[in-house]
Amino acid sequence: MIDQEMAKIELKKYNQEHIIEQMEKLNNLEKKELLEQISQIDFEEITKLYKNIKTKKEINQTQITPIYYIDKEKINDTEKNRLQENGEQIIKNDQYAVVTMAGGQGTRLGFNGPKGTFKLNIDDNEKYIFEILAESLKKSKKLYNILPYWYIMTSEQNNNQTIEFFEEHNYFEYDKEKVKFFKQGELPVLTEDGKLVIENSKIKTASNGNGGVYSAMKKSKILDDMKSKNIKWVYIFGVDNIMVNPIDPIFIGLTIKQNMQVASKSVAKAYPEEKVGVFCKRNGRPSTVEYIELSEKMRIECNKNGELVYGEANIISHLLTVEAIEKISNKDLKYHVAVKNNLYKFETFVFDGFEYLDDMLVMRVKRDEEFAPIKNKEGIDSPETAKEIYKRKLNI
């Protein structure tokens, strides 16, 4: 830990003198905690990230090319059975784990608490998001008499609340021994002028984006834990898709058959202007491209079957080998900036790690069967729309 004088030098060097002023007002314990926090901050990196916001990014369209995908629906029955059997072997051998990324802030939903603890009213039945996810995972017990290992990524802010919630609800009858929580990393947020913010005597921070999953798995020794358990395949998904289908042997079987280290599920883009990221190749490597990055021509371009060339939307459902996760965990992912509550927040994205692998499989699934995200309080991708999809599927 650095002492007060060193902290002052550091803060002055990076134009954060206002923190010194605030520090003077704190009591000894608060001061100690703040100094501890300051010693953890990589000021050089924060400054670089802030400068990056101000530089306009050049997008070279020619670097982006389409990616091949396989439509799950179009696989013939004989092949489906074969893939199913191979995938089932992985699950039955206890070589399968899932990671739920639940470290987000859920700003758009505006719910005070971890998103997974949000309750949905499904007719007369009330269900929490985490409860729905536990139910989807428990299908494995029914089908194969085994539950997958369930790792849950939380944030510094919501970790305790999340664990308490699971304790309170008896892990929704999931085998507690198979559940592990781990915290993701965080970074300070900045004002528009590039200043750090003090809140409750601490420098305000936020989780570092869902791409933080790789380094967090390494740092919290989740990767070591997986290796010691001989886990081979890991399904990584966001907490807010209540239709996620993590017990999908065909997906595992197909990824193995294609000899891939990483695979993602996609849904067909609903219309060219839909604001979703789609899978593509960038400089020949797996990637995604955001709606705003696509030129008008690329946005509407169709292939000979009349399908959008850039039309496979990312639903944050990814399957990776433990080796692939380990490889990515040793790389520095690029940061994206988001403005949340009028502050700059720096995030990496889980799919940005895929560019470190040579190739990937994209498997298209049906939107209504596997995608019902809860992002906004109202309107599209809200609890209401997600509930409708969920009810339709379950025939409620």
Query: How far is 181 from 163, CA to CA, in rounded Å?
Result: 8
Compute the least distance from the CB of residue 293 to ligand UTP, in Å: 17
Q: DSSP states of 150-204 as a string?
A: EEEEE-TTTHHHHHHHHHHTGGGG--GGGEEEEEPPEEE-B-TTS-B-EETTEE-
Scanning 106-114, 193-201, 221-229, 319-327 for contacts with ligand UTP by CB under 6 A, the matching segment is 106-114
Q: How many other β-carbons are positioned within 10 Å of the β-carbon of residue 256?
A: 20
Scanning 202-210, 228-236, 253-261, 353-361 for contacts with ligand UTP by CB under 6 A, the matching segment is 202-210
Query: Residue 185, interface with ligand UTP (CB under 6 A)?
Result: no
Which one among 88, 240, 355, 370 touches ligand UTP, defined by CB under 6 A? 240
Closest CB to ligand UTP among residues 116, 286: 116
Query: Residue 38, interface with ligand UTP (CB under 6 A)?
Result: no
Query: Residue 239, interface with ligand UTP (CB under 6 A)?
Result: yes
Closest CB to ligand UTP among residues 312, 381: 381
Query: How far is 340 from 326, CA to CA, in rounded Å?
Result: 30
Structure token digits, residue 145: 């008499």
Query: Residue 353, interface with ligand UTP (CB under 6 A)?
Result: no
Scanning 101-109, 134-142, 255-263, 355-363 for contacts with ligand UTP by CB under 6 A, the matching segment is 101-109
Closest CB to ligand UTP among residues 16, 117: 117
Residue 71: strand pairing partners: 364
Compute the least distance from the CB of residue 218 to ligand UTP, in Å: 16
Q: Which residue has the tokens 């389409």?
A: 66
Query: How far is 260 from 80, CA to CA, in rounded Å?
Result: 18
Closest CB to ligand UTP among residues 340, 392: 340
Compute the least distance from the CB of residue 212 to ligand UTP, in Å: 6
Q: Is 317 helix (H, G, I), strand (E, B) or coil?
A: strand
Compute the least distance from the CB of residue 382 to ligand UTP, in Å: 11
Structure token digits, residue 249: 């042997």
Which one among 84, 105, 201, 385 touches ligand UTP, defined by CB under 6 A? 105
Query: How far is 66 from 281, CA to CA, in rounded Å?
Result: 6
Structure token digits, residue 378: 């109202």
Query: Residue 107, interface with ligand UTP (CB under 6 A)?
Result: yes
Query: How far is 229 from 242, CA to CA, in rounded Å?
Result: 28
Q: How many other β-carbons are positioned within 10 Å of the β-carbon of residue 291?
A: 16
Query: Residue 246, interface with ligand UTP (CB under 6 A)?
Result: no
Which one among 269, 299, 375, 387 touches ligand UTP, defined by CB under 6 A? 375
Query: How far is 334 from 320, CA to CA, in rounded Å?
Result: 20
Using CA atoms, how far residue 168 sits from 101, 113, 120, 131, 242, in Å, is 20, 15, 18, 12, 21
According to CB under 6 A, which residues from 132 to 171 bind ligand UTP? Answer: 153
Closest CB to ligand UTP among residues 131, 240: 240
Closest CB to ligand UTP among residues 263, 316: 316
Q: DSSP states of 213-235 as a string?
A: HHHHHHHTTHHHHHHHTT--EEE
Which one among 41, 97, 106, 234 touches ligand UTP, defined by CB under 6 A? 106
Query: How far is 10 from 37, CA to CA, in rounded Å?
Result: 13
Compute the least distance from the CB of residue 325 to ligand UTP, in Å: 15
Give me the residue whose beta carbon is nearest to ligand UTP.
Answer: 104
Structure token digits, residue 75: 């696989």
Query: How far is 173 from 109, CA to CA, in rounded Å?
Result: 27
Where does this chain bind ligand UTP (CB under 6 A)? 101-108, 115, 153, 184, 207-210, 212, 238-240, 316, 340, 347, 375
